Amino acid sequence: MKKRTWLSMLLVLVLMFSLLAGCGSPAEEPAETGEPSEEPAEPSEEDVVITVAAGAVGQELELTQMAAQMYMDDNPGVVVEVLDTPDLAQDRLGLYLQFFEAQSSEVDVYQIDVIWPGDLEEHFVDLYEYGAEAVVGEHFPAIVENNTVDGRLVAIPWFTDAGLLYYRTDLLEKYDLDPPETWEELAQQAQVIQQGERDEGNQDFVGFVWQGDAYEGLTCNALEWIASNEGGTIISPEGIITINNENAVEMIDMAATWVGTISPEGVTGMAEEDARAIWQGGNAAFMRNWPYAYSLGQEDDSAVKDRFDVSPLPAGANGEPAATLGGWQLAVSRYSENPEIAADVALFMASYDMQKMRAVDGSLNPTIMDLYEDDDVLEAAPFFGSLYDVFTNAVARPSTASAPNYNAVSTAFFRAVHDVLNGNLDAATAFEELELDLQDITGFDIE
Amino acid sequence: MKKHRKSNFAKREERTAYKLLVPALIILLLIAIYPLGQVFYTSFTDRQFASGQETEFVGFDNYRRLLSVTVQQLEPLVDEETNQIVIDDETGNTVYERPIDVLPRDPIRYREYRQFSLMGNQYVLGATDVDFIDAIKNTVVFTVTSVFLELVLGLGVALVVNSNFKGKGATRTAMLIPWAVITVVSARMWEWMLAPNRTGMFNMLLDRFGLTDGSIAFLASSSFQLPAMIAVDVWKTTPFMALLLLAGLQTIPDELYEAAAIDGAGPVKQFFSITFPLLKPAMAVALIFRTLDALRVFDVFQVLLGQSEYSMATYNYFQLIGNRNMGLASAIGVIIFIIIFGFAIIYIKSLGVEMDETS
């Protein structure tokens, strides 16, 4: 009897362990089981799979896949796979964090936002150890600086971004207007054009579209308004909370008046692609967006082909035009099984030729300075030359000063602005509360 | 009850039964109790998600940060020169102190949640985490409204497809389509239908009928957000409710209706005297299922509203993924668990469901 009890308990344990082992192995050793089936043409034990987590806004994914194919053509034995990731930056960050928490080797190369190196630095290798030294000098120093944490280069710059004003050349001509230089001018012109087009029968025409949904994009838009009116950058580089000032309040209150007048009510639910859809359908006079929308607007199926141009964003009453610095970098995961090859892929994708291809085909701004003098690039995207200063002088979000709390800071900020835009609060009240919220999050002093 | 008379054989059988249950119990322990215990434990720490930072034990701090509320009285403002109470010229109302000056800031800051007046005094309700209190409110309103609507509509659908007509089978299958669509996909579909211009179906229809100018921002303006969520959920889950109720309806024998008809009871009388009482157990199960499900609502809110308005689950997700506060997020998880637990108990008690018929 007793013997049998023990036997049955033993059997139970054996069963449990075999079950656990059964669950565990595929996740732990994906490379072994995955490799042979990945490349049926050339099944070889030597094949290495490198997965690149990349964005898919506009043509990004297509361009990354092209680069991956080129790398594979040059390097037999390496399979580069591109993982499509969510469009909204926060959603993408959420996905990445889950990989990091699990210390997963599933993704080798990550496309990371310009605001993340400080927060995520511990999960990436130092690219200086993998030969980045030789190429780093070609890139914009400010971005390299941004990507360097404690002397470690955690990511190689891939493309940079700055907010631009897209305007319809045909409509400005029709209504005899010049591109606006201040926000006030923009609002007036948008009103005139919107009224005129609607009177002519296009009921869906709107004056100005931008990114007003409650997400990182609104932080970028609102920072541009505030910085262009001498209202600071939410938190100063020295770590002082500056958001609650007259210039900032004035600008946000002004933006709130756009909603439902020159911009549709729905603008407070729009991200980049929503704005571009309206713009590219020919239903907006002005749009604030990143450079990627340029080449898409020039495609054959676009209603605004050859009928628009870009300029720096307007300025506030008290300041100079400002554009938020955006852009994406490539970082190599510390949990990668083949960091050398992964780093090689990352450096290849960020190389002169690849950045040139992305600039010509996708109007994605290179981070390599020489490319702004390249004839092919300038022919495809003439504004790269004329707006060079906008790209080099773009305003950075306070991600370095507030690391590792930048996401919380930005969320508090865009939610406050979103409340004002929706008419629930006035900007003065919202920012009075916001500055205390930011103090709670960061512990910084208020100006 | 007859324990003392149990035979040796019965005892032996009982022991074998326990032995056979051991694997199931161990699995339950490993996949349910252990992670749950882990969440409870983490909720008392300040653990960061995806970070190598040291974790410290912080006691009930996370719960305090989430749930502390306070009520403070707002004194009317007094003009320093005239010693008179300040009256707003435009509205004629008394002007009170501003909540931001009154609410305590140490050791945790309270934010204004609502103002209300009671017996001639003005009060402010402050909370340390206004977003979370809002998330609870949103989730409860969402749950109560959507489950009620689903019950009413589901009952109607179930009664219709329970009757005999041609094409009954096809109708029953077609009815299930919304339920079969993955929530994220149906949420995207609704996102397009609710688009803030005339590309969206609703705005197009409203415009066609001349009711609006076709630019209602259903998903961006606060007054339409919750109703839109409820509409999506009702559309999607009514079939499920109908299916559960249909199963209940089919257990009611036809003889009862025949007998009632002979006794001269009309359809309404039949419904309230036969269908309703006999359907009650099935209805209770369906209600519990749906309520507990609706309280955990995540996908619809996450896809359609993102960061602009939270449900309890999306706020939990935001704290974990967005802010990487794993400790705080665990505390939210525990609170959601307790709220759902409370709802379940209320249901079971008030509907008189016998969970275990034999005991």
Residues B275 and B153 in one domain: yes
Q: How far is B222 from chain A (nearest CA, A)?
A: 8
Asked if B44 and B329 touch (Cβ cutoff 8 Å), the reply is: no
CATH number of the domain to which A331 belongs: 3.40.190.10
Q: How far is A401 from chain B (nearest CA, A)?
A: 16
| Full domain range(s) for residue B185 | 131-351
What digits encode the pLDDT tens for the residues A88-117?
Answer: 888 899 899 999 999 999 999 999 999 999
Mean pLDDT within A381-390: 90
Is pLDDT of A174 > 90? yes
Is pLDDT of A15 > 90? no
> Would you tell me how many other CB atoms lie within 10 Å of the CB of residue A426?
14
Residue A305 maps to a domain: yes
Q: State the number of CA atoms in the 13 A half-sphere of B223 facing the CB.
A: 5
Mean pLDDT within A317-343: 94
Residues B226 and B336 in one domain: yes
Residues A209 and A256 in one domain: yes
Q: How many angstroms separate the CA atoms of B320 and B50, rounded?
A: 10
Residue A28's pLDDT is what? 38
Residues A186 and A208 in one domain: yes
Residue A31's pLDDT is what? 39
Residues A330 and A439 in one domain: no
Residue A28 maps to a domain: no
Residues A296 and A151 in one domain: no
Report yes or no on whether pTM surpasses 0.90: no
- Provide the number of structural domains found in chain B: 2
Residues B233 and B280 in one domain: yes
- Provide the number of structural domains found in chain A: 2
Q: What is the ipTM of this complex?
A: 0.85
Residues B86 and B231 in one domain: no
Residues A97 and A131 in one domain: yes
Lowest-pLDDT choice from A199-213, A305-319, B7-21: B7-21
Residues A181 and A235 in one domain: yes
Residue B273 maps to a domain: yes
Residue A30's pLDDT is what? 39
Residue B22 maps to a domain: no
Q: What is the mean pLDDT of chain A?
A: 89
Residue A20 maps to a domain: no
Residues B153 and B286 in one domain: yes
Cβ within 8 Å, pair A268-B317: no
Residue A16 maps to a domain: no
Q: Could you say which of A355, A377, A392 is where a domain stops?
A: A392
Residue B12 maps to a domain: no
Percent share of chain A, pLDDT over 90: 78
> Would you tell me how many other CB atoms lie within 10 Å of the CB of residue A418?
23
Cβ within 8 Å, pair A266-B324: no
Question: Which residues of chain B approach chain A closer than 8 Å at the C-beta?
Answer: 19, 22-23, 26-27, 49-52, 100, 105, 109, 111-112, 195-198, 213-217, 219-222, 306-308, 317-318, 321-324
Is pLDDT of A120 > 60? yes
Residues A260 and A275 in one domain: yes
For residue A23, the chain B residues in CB contact (below 8 A) are: none
Residue with more model confidence, B107 or A181? A181
Cβ within 8 Å, pair A265-B221: yes
| Full domain range(s) for residue A102 | 44-161+326-392
Residues A169 and A310 in one domain: yes
Residues B230 and B113 in one domain: no
What digits encode the pLDDT tens for the residues A19-61?
Answer: 555 444 443 333 333 334 444 444 456 789 999 999 988 889 9
Residue A274 one-letter amino acid: D
Q: How many angstroms separate the CA atoms of B338 and B256, rounded?
A: 42
Mean pLDDT within A141-170: 94
Taking chain B (359 residues) in runs of 10, the rounded mean pLDDT of each run is 70 90 92 92 92 88 93 86 80 84 87 88 92 95 96 94 87 89 92 90 91 86 92 94 93 90 89 90 88 93 91 94 91 94 86 53
Residue B220 maps to a domain: yes
What digits encode the pLDDT tens for the residues A68-93?
Answer: 999 999 999 999 999 999 888 888 99
Residues A53 and A67 in one domain: yes
Is pLDDT of A417 > 90? yes
Residues A60 and A172 in one domain: no
- Classify A234 in phi/psi space as left (phi over 0), alpha (psi -120 to 50) or beta: left
Residue A172 maps to a domain: yes
Residues B82 and B142 in one domain: no
Residues A103 and A174 in one domain: no
Q: How many CB pairs under 8 A join A and B?
A: 103
Residue B90 maps to a domain: yes
Residue A41's pLDDT is what? 47
Q: How many angstroms separate the CA atoms of A346 and A349, rounded?
A: 5
**What Rg value do the Cα atoms of chain A yield, rounded?**
25
Residue B237 maps to a domain: yes
Residue A11 maps to a domain: no
